[in-house]
Chain A
Amino acid sequence: MILVYVDHDRGELDPLALQVVSAARGMDDDVQAVIVGPNAEKCVDELAGVGVRTVHHGSHASIADYTPLANARAVLSVMERLEPRAVLAAGTARGSEVLAHIAAIKDLPLVTECSEITLTGPDTAEVTRARWGGNLLERSKVTAAPLLATAQAHAFAVAEQPGSAQVEAFDVPATDADLQVGIVDRTGAAATGVGLAEAKVVISGGRGMDGPEAFAMLEELADILGGAVGCSRVVTAAGWRPHAEQVGQTGTKVAPELYLAFGISGATQHIAGCKSAKTLIAVNTDGQAPIMSHADYAVVDNLHTLLPVLIEKARAAKGA
């Protein structure tokens, strides 16, 4: 049996959980899920739709919202009862954190960011995982039972498996120390424009923008195309744009229909964030810039003179 830790935010299922369950079903027919906290039961139908037949729902009087270590205790209590061959989670901040707690408590290895997982024996597995933000792939052998692993986002396709799931409620054996760190508040407003991670068009600027001013043109173009503005790390390190707009290994990873890179050289740190774009257009004065080898279309020109013309033509084409 494979156990999947399923994250949700106040009853809203983490969509990556469906990919993780599908990955688990590729390893074993019997896939069960652990969900924790109030409103988690809202996720059961979606999990049943990808082949989960048993959902273990943990509750505790003091768990009102996401509480990492208590969630780990919940998974541990199911692990101890049912002895799964592997425990998987999505490679999100929360999924990695919950599995890291389990790994630390049980002194087990944990393999993160896996894009392939093969169980090769009763306590052995081989995995392919991402290093350097996916610029390098690692093949490794892990000796552990159970195997603890997180799945790289979008590495596994969702496989529908309609049916219904039985919910087994249980009490989470959490101590005060386990409940010490959890969400106490949420701040910030929901996005007003188009979110960078979900945008169909991302228009990014790099060092070649020469300062924060020229980003007004990227915003104008983004507005015409219904896209979002991004940037490279050089730009956020210089304080030209907020970090939330950084595309890259330590920023946001994007997968738009179109990625427009203005004045970006194409360091691996940046490519890690934009290589999933369907079409990449690079505009750079240097035709030999590394970004050009990742581009589908190249414009070797000065972005400062090109952008006003492009904006005018794009606006005209939209009106036409």
Chain B
Amino acid sequence: MEICVCIKRYPSLGSAIMLTEDGMAIDTDKLGFTLSPHEECAVEAAVQLKEEHGGTVTLISMGPEGVEEQIREQFAIGADRAIWIHSDSTDIDPQAAAKAIGDAIEADGTAFDLILLGSESADNANAQTGVRLAHRLGRPVATAVKGMTIADGVATCERAVGTMREVYSVPLPAVVTVKDGLNIPRYPSVPGRIKARKKPIEEVPATLDAPRIELIGLTAPIRESKGAQDLGAGEEAADALVDVMKQIGVLS
């Protein structure tokens, strides 16, 4: 199977968000970078399918210098090669992003059986790049998938709705966007990390359409401490907790 996985580099936010002075971006100066859980699951699913069916896992990522870090990490998990669409930023209008990814896939020429993306990005949550890419390539698409099996040229995809699951069957070649919980992504092994250094990354320039959604500014909702009331510890705390539960009416 030829599988393509689109991944995106994000700052690791930790517990607080600092904005740049102009309020147009997150100040990433002191931050590390990572993938989102959705995309980690997408790569894990691709590697599992490769282990089962054979084939190649190709990563595609858009962004400036630095995306190589996330690409190499996923090489260590088991992806084989990557296409790096070199753009100035990872904050790309979803219409332009889907078109650029579609162009890169066509230029690459690999006949991908399956193209996986996260169901929405961790940062902008536009939740549309996968669907746009599917239309760009003329393929069927299933979105927000949390369970997937491939047999006889069909991807059987499950979407979680409460405790129930909706089942969709999608003929390959297809685009599928997945969610955290699809699997438990493995950790990279030491041999995996060594092999990752040598795997090929092909760099292609991004030609991006002008964004149709124009950012005016970002705000981080006020994060002042609520000034938690300290209920102490031990038996005293347990008594106080019971009192609070009674007071708000969840224990009677």
Residues of A in contact with B (beta carbons under 8 Å apart): 9, 66, 68, 91, 93, 96-97, 99-101, 103-105, 107-113, 126, 130-144, 150, 177, 180-191, 195, 197, 200-201, 224-227, 233, 236-237, 239, 243-244, 246, 249-251, 257-258, 265-269, 271, 278-282, 290, 292-301, 305-306, 309-310, 312-314, 317-318
Q: Could you say which residues of chain A place their CB within 8 Å of the CB of B134?
A: 104
Does A142 contact B248, Cβ atoms closer than 8 Å? no
- Would you mind naming 23 contact pairs between A and B with Cβ atoms under 8 Å apart? A97-B127, A97-B131, A103-B95, A103-B132, A104-B135, A113-B127, A131-B123, A133-B125, A136-B17, A181-B170, A184-B167, A187-B167, A189-B163, A251-B180, A279-B244, A290-B15, A297-B244, A299-B230, A306-B237, A306-B238, A310-B238, A312-B238, A317-B251
Does A142 contact B213, Cβ atoms closer than 8 Å? yes
Tell yes or no: B169 within 8 A of A by CB. Answer: yes
Tell yes or no: B143 within 8 A of A by CB. Answer: yes
Does A246 contact B135, Cβ atoms closer than 8 Å? no
Residues of B in contact with A (beta carbons under 8 Å apart): 13-17, 26, 36-38, 93-95, 98, 119-120, 122-128, 130-132, 134-136, 140-144, 146, 158-171, 179-181, 184-185, 212-221, 223-226, 228-235, 237-242, 244-246, 248-252
Q: How far is the CB of A175 from chain B (nearest CB, A)?
A: 12
In whole angstroms, how far apart are the Cα atoms of A99 and B128 in the complex?
A: 9
Q: Please name the residue on chain A nearest to B177 by beta carbon.
A: A97
Does A187 contact B228, Cβ atoms closer than 8 Å? no
Q: Could you say which residues of chain A place their CB within 8 Å of the CB of B181?
A: 236, 243-244, 246, 250-251
Q: Please name the residue on chain A nearest to B170 by beta carbon.
A: A181
Does A139 contact B217, Cβ atoms closer than 8 Å? yes
Choose from A295, A305, A306 the contact partner of B228 (Cβ within 8 Å): A295
Does A200 contact B17, Cβ atoms closer than 8 Å? no
Does B229 contact A298, Cβ atoms closer than 8 Å? yes
Q: Could you say which residues of chain A place their CB within 8 Å of the CB of B144?
A: 93, 97
In whole angstroms, how far apart are the Cα atoms of A114 and B142 in the complex?
A: 23
Does A296 contact B228, Cβ atoms closer than 8 Å? yes
Q: Please name the residue on chain A nearest to B136 by beta carbon.
A: A104
Q: Could you say which residues of chain B place their CB within 8 Å of the CB of A191?
A: 162-163
In whole angstroms, how far apart are the Cα atoms of A150 and B36 in the complex?
A: 22
Does A105 contact B135, Cβ atoms closer than 8 Å? yes
Choose from A91, A290, A314 the contact partner of B16 (Cβ within 8 Å): A290
In whole angstroms, how far apart are the Cα atoms of A258 and B234 in the complex?
A: 20
Q: How far is the CB of A79 from chain B (nearest CB, A)?
A: 17
In whole angstroms, how far apart are the Cα atoms of A265 and B250 in the complex?
A: 24
Choose from A101, A182, A293, A305 the contact partner of B168 (Cβ within 8 Å): A182
In whole angstroms, how far apart are the Cα atoms of A140 and B126 in the complex?
A: 13
In whole angstroms, how far apart are the Cα atoms of A26 and B108 in the complex?
A: 47
Known A112-B127, A300-B230, A314-B251; contact A244-B160, beta-carbon cutoff 8 A: yes
